[in-house]
Each structure stands twice: as structure tokens, then as C-alpha cells.
Structure 1
Amino acid sequence: MGAVDSGGVIERDGTRPNPSVLGSLGYLAMNLPLGIAGFVAVVTLFSVGLSTAVVWVGLPVLALAVVGARLGARVERARIYAMLDTYIASPYVPLPERGRWKTRVRDVATWRDVSYFVLLLPIGVFEFTVMVTMWSLTLGLLFLPIYYRYLPEESWRVGDWDHPLIVVDSFVESLPFAALGLLLLAVALPVTKGLGRAHAYYARALLGPAPSFFGSYHAEPLPSGV
């Protein structure tokens, strides 16, 4: 985890992300609805704010967009820490006594936060699709010997109901499909964990301190505000 030295500086967590399977599954499944919400909020606020800034009406909207992006990024860093077991240090420059809004707008970390939420939508669609497809197929096959008898006509069918390609209506017939589900489970576990780890690296790159010239991360002072 990151540490705070005597100067009030957060050092980055240099450990390799190693999320659990359940944590990764829950996190990745949440990324679609959160990606939609984040994308809509960011695009709407900035579009309205920029289009009406000429008459000053848009300035409060832009201010709300900036603060909202930074607050959302704080929540996202906490969610990543809780579910992916990956610490991401705060990237923001300290806010001065005067010119706080100018500092927020000029801070590159603010716009990296905005980029993260814009990109979370397509990334969330991909992650959600992979997780739902892979796990529904895996669990559906794995537990077929248990639930096939509770389906209509006590059978599991693939294809047209009246002219199915495959019919499973006995425990013995369901066993090969359960074995296939077990094989898919052996694939789904590392894939889920790998996607969670990949997203943790991606989030650290955008939501964490900016990379230095030498490839490490700068430790930034603790911010005094959002």
C-alpha cells in the first residue's frame, strides 16, 4: 500500500495488482452501469457548460463538471481499492489559498479523470459483455444436471424448441455438458482475474500520479480540497 511520509506526501503503491476473482467479477460487472452514468454526466455537463459559457451561464455548470469529475475519481479510487485490492495514490496538486479554481482547471489530473469516465463506457461494455457471457455459459453448463428437470418438458434444448439440435432430458446425458462447464470454469477464473488486474493497471495510469520521465510515478502532496 501507499505510505505517507513526514512531508505529507503519498507514495504510490508499487505492488502488482492481484485482485480476487469475486472482487474482479463484481467490479467488472458494475462498470457498465457506472460507465453509462459517468459518460452521460461528463458529456452532458461539459457540453452544456461550454455551449453557454459565452453568456456566463455555463461557468457554474463547468465548475460543477470539474468538481464532479474529481469527486467521481476519488470514489473510483476507493472502489478499486475495496474490490480490486489496488491502492491508487491521489494525483492532485495542492490547492493554494487563492486561485483554487484555476489550479483545478490547469491540473492535468483533472482532465485525466474526465478521460477515465469517458472511456469507462466502451471499456465497461466490453468487460460486462465478457463477464456475463462467460459466466452465464459456464454456470449454465456446470449446473445443468441439477436444473434441467425443472425446465419445460423436463429437458434442456439447444436450437428450435420443436426441432432442437441437442436435447438433454436425463442425468447421464447432462454429465458431458457439466464437464464442459467445469472446463470453462477453469478458463473463466483466470480470465476474470486477469481482466480485473488489467483494469487496475489502466485505472492507476489515468487516476494515479502521472508517470515520470523515468517510468516511475511522482509522489504528490496530499490535496487540501477536491
Structure 2
Amino acid sequence: MHDTYTGAVRRWAVLRAPFTTRAWAEVAYCLLGFPVAVIGFVLVLVLLVLGAGLTVSLLGAVLGLLLVVVSTGLARVFAAVHRGLAAGLLGERVPSPMLLRPAGRAFARLDARLRDAAGWRSAAYVLVKLPVAAVELYAVGWWLTGLLNLSAPLRWAAFGQRPHEGAEGMPTITPIPVGGGAPHSTSFAGTFVAAAIGAVTLLAAPWVTRGIVAVDRWLVRALLGPGELAQRVRNLEETRALAVDDSAALLRRLERDLHDGAQVRLVALAMSLDMAKEGLGADGEPVADPGRLRRLLETAHSNATEALTELRDLARGLHPPVLDDGLPDALATLAARSTVPVELTVDIPERPTPAIETIAYFCAAELLTNVIKHSGARRAVLRARQEEGLLRLCLTDDGHGGATLGAGSGLPGLTQRVRTVDGTLDISSPDGGPTAVTVALPLHA
């Protein structure tokens, strides 16, 4: 059943790929990135070559070093442009490296700029980007040839493109060189062969573009970010701040809930018991008003019961009791309670620590809530598995897609929650679906 569902989703994804916003955004990225890549490559390479050439000479060494510094600074500017294109069109948001503000004397500042690792990574990206952009432009050619061949019957009928005397006919253009030449249409019926080739080319074009752009995405993440060590320090600072804020918010919530809930019930309980005690009178004296005393005791019992219920709810918010038997049983309970049918697969041979299980449970609960409230899905698949030392939760649904880190989805809160333990949350949700959210957590907090 699951294989049939997965196969249907994949076939539908292939058929609708050319019409998705993601596909056209990637085409726009390829087209807009090419001129920026050409200009950046020429300027940065010329400055680097001139600077390196002058540096090896005795008279122009200082000027050469200055040109090298200018080239890395200029590379940072082009890197910022490429980061903006990647963020705006691909959704690939890479944090920019820290601005370099060297202090000290002139030679100290020059030395600091020459040691600017982010600048050199930016220069490397600008130089590598040109061949990558050329291949991306080739990927755009798949779209153009597909559309051109698809319109062959219309062109034949509208413009009368018929073969001349001794000519081979209307050529079919293919993005891949074919031995012996591409087929030619010598009649109107033959143009439908070209149209079929165009349709196949157009269906393949988004995946060719996506594969080439994936290489560019990797380069952007590897070269245009703040660097592994700097990013690690930044993540630790942010997650520490998030953990402190989360703990403070939790304490405030507990204080408010105890003050406004259980504490009020306990105060009412104490007052009811005091009044009941006064109604008993002195030792050996009969009770003056048994009915009133009974009502006071009933009120005290009701307050005690409600206080216990509120305290259980508070404790459940800290650690769900369903996790006592392990994460698989807890996920099975979530899946069973969901109003959208959920197919659950769990493969966790090693039990994670309680903190990781709690985070995974709340992530699964929030993601299922989003599916029910926002996705319009008819079914969902939840997988929990252990691989490469990580616990991975993946929830896929067949809804209308468009899930983002906003719009009241609760996903920003999940992102903050998983980052406190050095986890990650990845979202793939093109317009029209399907949506796939993957949470990766370490097994030990």
C-alpha cells in the first residue's frame, strides 16, 4: 500500500514539475546569476592576477598586496549578491560572514585583510561560479528546446515551414547531441514526433536544472557562509540564548499557572477546611449546622480534585506520561489520535535520552497538528528511524504544500527547539505539495 502511494506521488511530481514555482525560480536563478558570474569572474580574476604579479616584484609588492586585498573585498560584494539571489529565488538562506573591521596600524590592517578567510572563500566561489553558471545556462537550454519542439506543429501550420526542394525538412532540436543528427519533420504529421520529443525534454528540464542548481547550493553553503568554526560559535551562542530564554519562559509559565490555578484551588481548599473546622464547634458539642458543614466539605473535596487535575496537566506539559514506555509507543498514540490517517514506521534500536525523546515527541505532535489544520491532506506518512548516529523524524503529506517558517505554522518554534540540542529541521513544501519535513536529532542531548 505504501509503495503504491509513494509511486503515485512521484509520478505526479514528475508530471507537474515544469509548472511549479520552484522550477521557474530555479530557471530565473540560472539566468540572473550568469551575468553576475561573468562580471565577478573577470574583475576578481584580473585583480588577483595583477596583484599576484606585482607582489613577486620588489617595486610593486605593496601595490600588489593592495590589489589582492581589493580583489577579496570585491569578491565579498559579489558573494553578497549571489547570497541574495540564492535566498530570494532558491530559499537557500546562508548567514553572511562577519564584516572585517581590522584595527591597528596600516600594515596590521593590511595583514588582517590578507588573512580574511571569508574573503578568500568568496573569491573561490566567484571564480568557480562561472563554469557552474555556464552549465546552469545549458540547463536553461533544455527548457528552450523543449518549448521550441513542442510548438513544431503550430509553427508548421502558422508559418508554412515546409521542406524546400532537396531539403531534409524541419529539424528537431535536442539538448543532447545525437549521433547521425536529430530527426527532421518532412510533413505536418511528422511534427508531432518533434512535439513528443519536446514534451519529454520539457518534463526532464526541471530535474536537469535542479541537479545542476543543487551543486550551486552546495557551493553557496560551503563557501559563502561564515565558515565552519565561526558558524559553530554563532550557533552555540544562539542556542545558549534560546535555551536560557526557553527556561525562563517555562519558569514564568509554571509560576503563572501555579499562581492562577492550583494555588487558588489550594487557598480555597484551606478556607473551606477552616470554615468546616469552625462549624464543628468545641469538643463534645453537637454540630450546629450539619448541612452547611457537608457543603463545605464537598467544596473542599472539589477544590482538591481540581488542584490535582491542574498539577497533572502541568506535569504532562513538562514530560508526557506516554513517553514512559518509549518513543515508538508515544508516536503510535499520536498517529492513532490523528484525524488524518497516518502511516507510521518506526526503527529505533537504541533508545534516545529522555530529553531527545521529549523533543522528538513534541515535534511529531506539532507537525501532525500542522497537517490537520493547514495542509488539507488526505493522508500522511510518519517515519522515525535511527541512522548515522541520529534520530530522524520525517513527516510527509499529500496536501497542497506551501509550508513555510511562518504564517502561524509553529515551525519557527520547532526550529528553535531542535537547535537547542544541535538538531536540524528541513522543509520541502513546493506549491501544490507534497510536503516533507525532516527533523534530525542527536541520540544523546
> Cα offset for 1:81?
0.9
Distance, in Å, in 2 between the alignment partners of 1:101 and 1:80 is: 31
- Structure 1: which 4+ aligned runs deviate by more than 6 Å? none
1:62 aligns to what? 68
Amino acid at match of 2:192: L
Q: How does 1:166-185 map to 2 (within 5 A)?
A: 166-170=184-188, 172-185=189-202
Amino acid at match of 2:72: V
Q: TM-score, normalised by structure 1?
A: 0.72
Q: Does 1:80 align with 2:82?
A: no
Q: TM-score, normalised by structure 2?
A: 0.39
Cα–Cα, structure 1 residues 50 and 173, in superposed 2: closer, same or farther, change >3 Å?
Answer: closer
Q: How does 1:142-221 map to 2 (within 5 A)?
A: 142-151=150-159, 153-154=161-162, 157-158=170-171, 166-170=184-188, 172-212=189-229, 217-219=232-234
Q: How does 1:42-61 map to 2 (within 5 A)?
A: 42-53=44-55, 54-55=58-59, 56-61=62-67
> Cα offset for 1:82?
1.4
Distance, in Å, in 2 between the alignment partners of 1:66 and 1:165 is: 50
Distance, in Å, in 1 between the alignment partners of 2:137 and 2:64 is: 35
Deviations 1:188-225 (A, max 9, x none): 1222233323311221111113235xxx855389xxxx
Task: Describe the SS at the equivalent of 2:190.
Answer: helix
Distance, in Å, in 2 between the alignment partners of 1:210 and 1:73 is: 14
Q: After the TM superposition, which of the residue ranges 187-196 and 72-81 deviates more from structure 2? A: 187-196
Tell me the number of residue pairs that the alignment of Structure 1 and Structure 2 aligns. 195
Distance, in Å, in 2 between the alignment partners of 1:165 and 1:194 is: 28
Contact 1:142 1:177 (C-alpha < 8 Å) held by counterparts: yes
The CA RMSD measured in Å over matched residues stands at 3.0
Amino acid at match of 1:219: R
Contact 1:52 1:58 (C-alpha < 8 Å) held by counterparts: yes
Task: Describe the SS at the equivalent of 2:92.
Answer: coil
Task: Describe the SS at the equivalent of 1:219.
Answer: helix
- The structure that has the greater radius of gyration is 2
Distance, in Å, in 2 between the alignment partners of 1:22 and 1:165 is: 29
Cα–Cα, structure 1 residues 203 and 165, in superposed 2: closer, same or farther, change >3 Å?
Answer: closer
Q: Does 1:137 align with 2:145?
A: yes
> Cα offset for 1:50?
2.4
Distance, in Å, in 1 between the alignment partners of 2:146 and 2:126 is: 30
> Cα offset for 1:142?
1.3
Distance, in Å, in 2 between the alignment partners of 1:136 and 1:217 is: 43
Contact 1:29 1:128 (C-alpha < 8 Å) held by counterparts: yes
Q: After the TM superposition, which of the residue ranges 174-183 and 92-101 deviates more from structure 2? A: 92-101
Task: Describe the SS at the equivalent of 2:185.
Answer: strand
Which sections of structure 1, spanning at least 5 residues, go unmatched? 1-18, 222-226
Cα–Cα, structure 1 residues 90 and 174, in superposed 2: closer, same or farther, change >3 Å?
Answer: same
Cα–Cα, structure 1 residues 41 and 152, in superposed 2: closer, same or farther, change >3 Å?
Answer: farther
2:122 aligns to what? 113
Contact 2:26 2:210 (C-alpha < 8 Å) held by counterparts: yes
Deviations 1:101-139 (A, max 9, x none): 43332121111111111111222222222322x122211
1:224 aligns to what? none
Cα–Cα, structure 1 residues 165 and 144, in superposed 2: closer, same or farther, change >3 Å?
Answer: closer
Contact 2:136 2:213 (C-alpha < 8 Å) held by counterparts: no
Distance, in Å, in 1 between the alignment partners of 2:160 and 2:220 is: 45
Q: After the TM superposition, which of the residue ranges 95-104 and 190-199 deviates more from structure 2? A: 95-104
Deviations 1:136-166 (A, max 9, x none): 221111111222234564455239xxxx962
